[in-house]
Amino acid sequence: MRRTVTMKDVAKAAGVSVMTVSRSFKADASVNAKTRAQIRAVAEELGYVLDSTAANLRSQRSDFVAVTIPSLNNANFADTVSAISEVLSQSGMQVLLGYTNYDIHAEERLIEQLLRRKPEAIVVTGGRHTPRGRKLLEKSGIPVVETWDLPQDPVAHVAGFSNARAMDPLVGHLADTGRRRIAFIGGDADGDTRGVDRRRGFVQAMEARDLDPTRLIPAGQPPISMLQGAQAMAQLLADMPDTEAVVCVSDLSAFGALTECARRGVRVPEDIAIAGFGAYEIAGICVPRITTVNPHPGLIGKRTAELLLMTLRGERSSETIRYEIRPELVIGGSTG
């Protein structure tokens, strides 16, 4: 096996010192333009690739931010990550992504693995962690941002929204359109803390209107799927056939519920209204469109990145900042 090409090899080939090679790879370093071009050409020719492990070790900087999300395959988390990436890239910073499969123990391991790589900062989705996971974040010595949630006792900065309070306008809308027997599907899985919060918010919103908050149908473990929604809807129609509306923990389960209704000839919204959460693409295109709540995932990412840049520049690093994003009710034909 051929040894990997190092700066030394490039320096020798170009007839300069390694230091000059190093400088020719840094945009703001002082090198003669011609020398730089020539060194770059030699490096390209040799197939040289900078070793960032060595660079990071020496400079004690890494130019990347670690981000954890529960699941790869989720349009909303993906939007948040994309927004973070986009804003950070303007400062030459990258994102190192890891996913937890909705498991805080996996999150703990992931946090440790990410911290080993010495990121400049770390972003975690959600505000619930293992004690050790939390301690790792606190002792990390780098800026921490929690997103997609508004934890009671945040580790540090926060850019998120209240999953519980987001339910109130939705229940309000259903109540205002005359529904009284309203059920909730999902939010029973330990790992899906945001789903649990939504169900709690649903119960509170129902109680606040003197409505019965006990029509709760479990939907199983995350990731939330359409199939879960269909099965839960089947159970709901069997157990509580007089239900007038159902709020689902996610648009995906809401769509599953909608298909179950279609298969059984149950009309939506005439026989039963269906609402979801997340403003996923499917909610806006299926027939009828599903009433949902848009948590503005891109905005969460943007605010998160702004917090990161602010703290990384050393501004206001002492105080803990909390950005609250306000979710938006989007009314579709499914509750019409």
Partner DNA sequence: GATTGACTTGGTAACGATAACATGGAATGA
Partner DNA sequence: TCATTCCATGTTATCGTTACCAAGTCAATC
Residues lying near DNA in the complex (CB under 7 A): 3-4, 6-8, 16-20, 22-23, 25-26, 30-33, 35-36, 50-51, 54-55, 57-61
Using CB under 8 A as the binding rule, whether residue 221 contacts a copy of itself is answered as: no
Using CB under 8 A as the binding rule, whether residue 47 contacts a copy of itself is answered as: yes
- Type and span of the H or E element at 172: helix 167-176
Between 213 and 229, CB nearer to a copy of itself: 229
Pick what 287 binds: DNA, a copy of itself, none; C-beta below 5 to 8 Å, kind-dependent: a copy of itself
Q: Rounded CA gap, 183 and 214, in Å? A: 8
Q: Which one among 18, 234, 240, 262 touches a copy of itself, defined by CB under 8 A?
A: 262
Pick what 8 binds: a copy of itself, DNA, none; C-beta below 5 to 8 Å, kind-dependent: DNA
- Residue 183 tokens, joined: 């059920």
User: Helix 131-139 vs helix 104-116: angle between axes, to the nearest 10 degrees?
Assistant: 20
- 3-class DSSP assignment, residue 315: coil
DSSP for 209-276 reads TT-----EE---SSSP-HHHHHHHHHHHHHH-TT--EEEESSHHHHHHHHHHHHHHT--TTTT-EEE-
Is 334:258 a contact under the CB 8 Å cutoff?
Answer: yes
Using CB under 8 A as the binding rule, whether residue 113 contacts a copy of itself is answered as: yes
Using CB under 8 A as the binding rule, whether residue 51 contacts a copy of itself is answered as: yes
Using CB under 8 A as the binding rule, whether residue 6 contacts a copy of itself is answered as: no
Q: Which one among 141, 153, 318, 319 touches a copy of itself, defined by CB under 8 A?
A: 141
Q: Is the dihedral of CA 252, 253, 254, 255 positive or negative?
A: positive
Pick what 152 binds: DNA, a copy of itself, none; C-beta below 5 to 8 Å, kind-dependent: none
Using CB under 8 A as the binding rule, whether residue 4 contacts a copy of itself is answered as: yes
Using CB under 8 A as the binding rule, whether residue 131 contacts a copy of itself is answered as: no
- Type and span of the H or E element at 57: helix 52-59
Q: Rounded CA gap, 162 and 53, in Å? A: 39
Residues that bind a copy of itself (CB under 8 A): 1-2, 4, 47, 49-54, 56-57, 62, 71-75, 78-79, 81-82, 94, 96-98, 112-113, 115-118, 135-136, 138-141, 225-227, 230, 255-256, 259, 262-263, 281-282, 285-287
